[in-house]
Amino acid sequence: MDATTVVELGSQALWMTLLVSAPLLLVALGVGLVIGIVQAATSVNEATLSFIPKLVAMSVTLAVVGGWQIATLVDYMRALFLRIPTLFS
């Protein structure tokens, strides 16, 4: 296995991590931003106030895109396992 293959596998793994985690991270960022703006506008400085809306939003997001995330990861792992014999030949 040469360095190009290792870099390619690492790049694919990082891309898959970004692709699968992006929906949850973007929802958490959006909800946190909205809650932060509301807190700044109302001068309510409670750190725990954003926890429940983020938790609810991320749960809904996971329910919506969770199947896609699992299918994407399974496809990636299947392709990776099928590629193992060609890596060491």
pLDDT digits (tens, 9 = 90+) for 51-75: 999 999 999 999 999 999 999 999 9
- What is the pLDDT, as a whole number, of residue 1? 73
Q: Which amino acid is at 33?
A: L
- What is the pLDDT, as a whole number, of residue 88? 80
Is the distance from CB of 36 to CB of 2 less than 8 angstroms? no
Joined together, the tokens standing for residue 54 give 């983020």
DSSP state of 49: G
pLDDT band, very low/low/confident/very high, at 12 (cuts 50, 70, 90): very high
**Cβ within 8 Å of residue 81, ≥6 positions away:** none
DSSP state of 50: G
What predicted TM-score, i.e. pTM, was given to this entire model? 0.81
CA dist 62 and 48 (Å) reads 21
Joined together, the tokens standing for residue 56 give 């609810």
